[in-house]
Amino acid sequence: MIDGRSALRSDRLMAPVARRVVGGLSVVALVALVVVGLFVAPPDAFQGDAQRLMYLHVPAAWLAYLAFGVTAVCSALYLWGRTRSLVWDRIAGASAELGVVFTGLTLLLGSLWGRPIWGVWWAWDARLVTTAVLFFLYLGYLALRRIPAALDVRAKRCGVAALIAFVDVPIVHFSVTWWRTLHQEATVFNPDLDVQIEGTMALALWLGVLSFTLLYVYLLDLRYRLEVLDEDRDERDLEAAIAERAQGGVPSAGTVGVGS
């Protein structure tokens, strides 16, 4: 399991300078989003200012799709023998974690948007229910990653789970087309690909998508690095425990069970 790492020399996804550039760009894009979303774009003719929540809600949902998509692709790359590398497993885990955060954000922002417009915080329609299922599916995936196991065993097990969980992503997206829902249909990626939004509003929406995507790349690299450090620490703890036992000493409480 150590081979995969040293062979590819991949203790990070991008150079630190690249990460800082991406992080800086995402801050710039977020500031532009605040300006355009709050001050440049007009209030919606029907919904008024509450519609501005769209500039966060839709990018958050887009990011959840993207994050789980990356998790699925990387899981497949791990499971396929020829491209098997723990690098893919780490990206999959890091991306799923971000996906869960942004799915939660989507649900929360959607709820805040629903209350003033629909009149309710929550509705048991197909879009909302399948999104909640998505949230819990990947929460389960993250729980699966926490079960102690050798890294390659965990990677295989989680890879299969990630591919199963991804089935819900297209169901969430097309739920508003397939079934009657309280939730409106997609404004941009609808079946007719007919964008139903005024110019500066669309600009705010795209700025939201851009800034969230940049933020995702930045956080993904950071989380990947953390995962590598975690693995290193576990390995050091294990070696320390072995060394201690080899000397005939009783393992201290802190190292008992590590790597079992």
Partner 1 sequence: MTTAKRRAIIALSLCGAAVIAIIVLTVVLSSNVVYFRTVSEAVAERATDAGSRFRIAGEVVPGSVVETGRGVEFEITDGKKTARVVHVGDPPSLFEDGAPVVCEGRWGPKAAFASDRIMIRHGNEYEAPDVDSGSAAPGPLADRSAGAGGAGAP
CB of 50 to partner 1, least distance (A): 6
**What's the closest the beta carbon of residue 164 comes to partner 1, in angstroms?**
5
Q: Which amino acid belongs to residue 30?
A: L
Helix (H, G, I), strand (E, B) or coil at 44: strand
Rounded CA-CA distance 152/258 in Å is: 17
Q: Which of 11, 12, 32, 44 binds partner 1 (CB under 8 A)?
A: 44
Determine, following the binding rule CB under 8 A, whether residue 181 of this chain makes contact with partner 1.
Answer: yes
Are 139 and 104 spatial neighbours (Cβ–Cβ below 8 Å)? no
By CB under 8 A, what part of segment 185-204 binds partner 1? 185-187, 190, 196-198, 201
d(CA 10, CA 23): 20
Structural contact between residues 173 and 179, judged by C-beta atoms closer than 8 angstroms = no
Query: Taking a C-beta distance cutoff of 8 angstroms, is the pair 182, 124 a contact?
Result: no
Whole-angstrom distance between the N-terminal and C-terminal Cα of the chain? 15
| Distance of closest approach, residue 14 Cβ to partner 1, in angstroms | 33
Is residue 152 part of the contact set for partner 1 (CB under 8 A)? Answer: no
* Closer by beta carbon to partner 1, 185 or else 244: 185
Give contact residues for partner 1 (rule: CB under 8 A): 38-40, 42-54, 112, 116-120, 123-126, 129-130, 133, 137, 140, 157, 160-161, 164, 179-182, 184-187, 190, 196-198, 201
